[in-house]
């Protein structure tokens, strides 16, 4: 594919887009030719000057709603990185242009209702053009999707068979979720208010699995004691989107982990062996989650949160806070013979910003530099199904993540 650029960062004047541009510059972008795009050339020029980017980093003008400009934009690059959300409001024209134009695409989407609709629309377009469309390339859902991929690959190597059940448990989380994640949640709730039947899609762990319906999955909104690790756990806010992506990864690759695969995801509320202390925290977290869900069901409460409480799109923590963040996730599975295996995934930055800007950048570079179309042809993919262990290796080498099997 002979095009002007390897990557274009769309939305580079926003908070997260600017972090992506900064990371590409500081990391050397693995030698890739890249450019920044957005609505205003003046604002793009200010970002380029503030980050001291070289003149070789091009500045391209295009509005998220201008189909003609987007078509011309994507024709100049091998891959687009877009941080412009909520995607259900701003994402469809660009994703469509990429799918039609044979241009790879990565985003930070954690909006399952929009993703389900786009999978149906974009799959035939991308299969014809050869475009690889990959949603959810940030903290939701790369560490979780790839954590399962990594653990299952090791299970195959050690046991000669996949693990029929995997439990993802967030053991450490220091940092913030992005304002874009909050805005996406608000728009999703508004969509359900307008069309209540969509609530079934949100609740279905197989909603993105192409019509496949697997076995009953564990409830992710309850406190429970995980006897595999001797610790209590409660609801994790990103479980709804992560579980859908994990099951889609399994489906897209022809169910290598089995059609009866079971996956659950929760937040640990105590370390192994803490007993009663962890139990109290788990039930408190469950009650708080239910109260939050109830409050978010009311329009005035959502309006109040939008205005006064949470970080908005375009805002974010300062550099010191981003670099002080950390996360650690445990993935534990048992073989059919009862053998236990655990993988530990760690990230060295704030999950919503400091790590996410690295995750999406390296996902884009992995698509254009490491993964050929013979392995991953045109279509709508997850990070785990599109890039798998190739992305694991890249993230370990370049992005401050570690994937290890626990002793």
For residue range 34-69, list pLDDT tens digits in order.
999 999 999 999 999 999 999 999 999 999 999 999
Q: pLDDT tens, 337-393?
A: 999 999 999 999 999 999 999 999 999 999 999 999 999 999 999 999 999 999 999
Tokens read off for 95: 């994703």
Q: pLDDT tens, 228-248?
A: 999 999 999 899 999 999 999
Rounded to whole angstroms, the Cα distance separating 230 from 227 reads 5
pLDDT band at 270 (very low <50, low <70, confident <90, very high): confident
Residue 65 pLDDT: 95
> Mean pLDDT throughout 162-182?
86
Residue 194 pLDDT: 79
- Which domains can be identified in the chain, with CATH numbers? 5-139+354-400 (3.40.50.720), 142-350 (no CATH)
Residue with tokens 């996360």: 327
Cα 384–chain centre separation: 10
Residue 274 pLDDT: 75
pLDDT band at 133 (very low <50, low <70, confident <90, very high): very high
Residue 6 pLDDT: 98
Is 328 in contact with 402 (CB distance < 8 Å)? no
Residue 180 pLDDT: 65
Q: pLDDT tens, 313-344?
A: 556 888 999 999 999 999 999 999 999 999 99
pLDDT at 301 over 50: no
Rounded to whole angstroms, the Cα distance separating 71 from 62 reads 10
Residue 244: which residues within 8 A CB-CB, separation 6 or more?
112, 115, 204, 205, 206, 207, 208, 209
Listed residue (235, 268, 243, 232) closest to 382, CA to CA: 243
Residue 26 pLDDT: 96
Residue 314 pLDDT: 56
Residue 302 pLDDT: 45
Please state the three-class secondary structure of 39-57 as a single string. Answer: CCHHHHHHHHHHHCCCCCC
Mean pLDDT for all residues in the chain: 91
Listed residue (62, 63, 64) closest to 85, CA to CA: 64
Q: pLDDT tens, 185-208?
A: 777 777 777 777 778 888 999 999
Q: pLDDT tens, 75-105?
A: 999 999 999 989 999 999 999 999 999 999 9
Question: Considering the entire predicted model, what is its pTM?
Answer: 0.93
pLDDT at 310 over 50: no
Listed residue (350, 401, 397, 402) closest to 27, CA to CA: 397
Listed residue (318, 406, 401) closest to 144, CA to CA: 401
Q: CA 189 → CA 3, 100, 107, 113, 160, distances in Å?
A: 40, 30, 21, 10, 43
Residue 388 pLDDT: 98
Q: What percentage of the chain reaches a pLDDT higher than 70?
A: 91
**43-61 burial, b for 16+ CB within 10 Å, e for fewer?**
ebeebbeebebeeebbbbe
Residue 181 pLDDT: 67
């Amino acid at each position: 594919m002979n095009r002007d650029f390897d990557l274009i960062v769309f939305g580079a004047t926003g908070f997260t887009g600017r972090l992506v541009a900064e990371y590409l510059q500081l990391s050397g972008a693995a030698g890739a030719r890249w450019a920044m795009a957005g609505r205003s050339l003046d604002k793009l020029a200010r970002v380029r000057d503030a980050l001291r980017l070289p003149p070789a980093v091009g500045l391209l003008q295009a509005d998220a709603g201008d189909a003609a400009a987007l078509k011309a934009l994507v024709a100049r690059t091998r891959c687009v990185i877009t941080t412009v959300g909520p995607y259900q409001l701003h994402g469809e024209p660009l994703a469509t242009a990429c799918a039609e134009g044979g241009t790879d695409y990565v985003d930070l989407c954690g909006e399952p209702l929009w993703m389900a609709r786009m999978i149906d629309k974009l799959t035939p377009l991308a299969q014809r053009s050869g475009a690889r469309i990959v949603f959810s390339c940030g903290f939701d859902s790369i560490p979780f999707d790839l954590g399962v991929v990594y653990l299952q690959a090791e299970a195959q190597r050690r046991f000669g068979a996949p693990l029929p059940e995997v439990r993802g448990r967030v053991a450490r989380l220091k940092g913030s979720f992005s304002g874009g994640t909050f805005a996406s949640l608000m728009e999703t709730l508004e969509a359900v208010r307008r069309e209540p039947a969509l609530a079934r899609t949100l609740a279905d762990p197989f909603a993105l699995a192409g019509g496949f319906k697997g076995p009953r999955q564990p409830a992710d909104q309850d406190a429970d004691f995980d006897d595999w690790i001797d610790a209590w756990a409660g609801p994790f806010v990103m479980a709804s989107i992560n579980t859908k992506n994990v099951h889609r990864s399994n489906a897209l690759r022809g169910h290598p982990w089995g059609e009866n695969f079971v996956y659950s995801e929760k937040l640990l509320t105590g370390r192994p062996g803490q007993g009663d202390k962890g139990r109290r925290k788990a039930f408190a977290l469950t009650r708080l989650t239910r109260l939050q869900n109830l409050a978010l069901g009311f329009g005035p409460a959502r309006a109040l949160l939008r205005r006064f409480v949470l970080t908005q799109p375009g805002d974010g923590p300062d550099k010191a806070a981003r670099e002080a963040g950390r996360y650690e996730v445990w993935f534990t599975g048992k073989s059919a013979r009862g053998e236990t295996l655990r993988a530990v995934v760690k990230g060295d930055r704030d999950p919503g910003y400091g790590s996410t800007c690295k995750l999406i950048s390296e996902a884009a570079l992995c698509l254009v530099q490491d993964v050929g179309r013979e392995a991953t042809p045109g279509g709508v993919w997850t990070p785990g199904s599109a890039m798998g262990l190739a992305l694991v290796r890249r993230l370990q080498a370049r992005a401050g993540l570690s994937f290890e099997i626990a002793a």
